[in-house]
Amino acid sequence: MRRFFAENMELAGDTVVLTGDEARHVSAVLRMQAGDRVLLIDGAGTECEAEIVSSKEDRVELRVTARREGQAEPETKVTLFQCLPKQGKMEVVIQKCVELGVHAVVPAVSRRCVVKPSGNDNKLTRWNKVSQEAAKQCGRAFVPEVMRPVSLDKIDLSGYGLVLLAYENESERSLKQALRERPGVSDIAIIIGPEGGFEPAEAEDIVKKGGVTVSLGKRILRTETAGMAMLAQIMYETES
C-alpha cells in the first residue's frame, strides 16, 4: 500500500485532504482514482489506512478507515549530532540514518569542519524533505526532524541517558562495551566528527559534559559512514 505524508493535517477525523506535492503525486503521477486505498502518516507516529473519495490535481480527499500507531519505531531514541561534512554527503547521512531508525539529526559545527553553516533555510528545508521521503520509503510513521546547525561547544547534552562520541584516539572502550555498561538507556546521543576528526580539546570538553568516547573498530571510518555504522550497531545491540 502506497504511503503519503499528511503534512499539517489532523488524522483524528474521518476525512483527510491532501494538497500540494502529495496531492499531485497521487493524482497526476500515480493517477490514483476514487476507491483506491493508501496509507497516510502524520510524521508524529500515527498511520491511517484511507480510501480515496475524490482525486484532483491539487486536492485529494480521503476517508480514513483504520488508525494505529506506527509499528516501525525503535524503543531506543537515538539523536545524531553530525559534524557538517563536505557538500552532498549530509543528504546521504540523513537518508540512511532515517532508514536505520534515528530519532533526530542535529548538524554540528566543529573547529575542523570545512563546511560552515550558510544560514540558508532552503538547505534545512531540503534536509527535512530528505528525512520525510526516507521515512515514507522505509515504512516509518514518524519523520525525524533535522534541526538547525549548532556549534559543537554549545551542544546541550543534559537530556540524554548516554552520550557516545566516536573517537579515533579511543583504543580501549568499544561501542558494544559502552552500551552494555548502561543497559536499558532509552535516549542516546551519538556525536560524529568531521573529515579531519575532532581536536583533542573538543573531545575532552564533551567528556567533561558526561560523554563517553568509543572506538568503532580497527579501521577509521569516513564521517558519512561512521554515523550509519554506529546507529546500526546500537539498533542491533538494543534489539530496536
Q: What residue segments make up the domains of the chain, in order of their start?
A: 3-69, 77-237
CB 130 within 8 A of CB 95: yes
Could you tell me the fold of the domain covering 77-237?
Alpha/beta knot (3.40.1280)
pTM for the complete prediction? 0.88
The single-letter code of the amino acid at 208 is K
pLDDT tens string 44-86: 888 899 999 999 888 999 999 998 888 899 999 999 999 999 8
Per-residue pLDDT tens over the stretch 117-160: 777 778 999 999 999 999 999 999 999 999 999 999 999 999 99
Distance CA 106, CA 233 (A): 20
Q: What architecture is domain 3-69? A: Beta Barrel (2.40)
Grid coordinates belonging to 195: 573529515
DSSP element (H, E) containing 191: strand 187-192
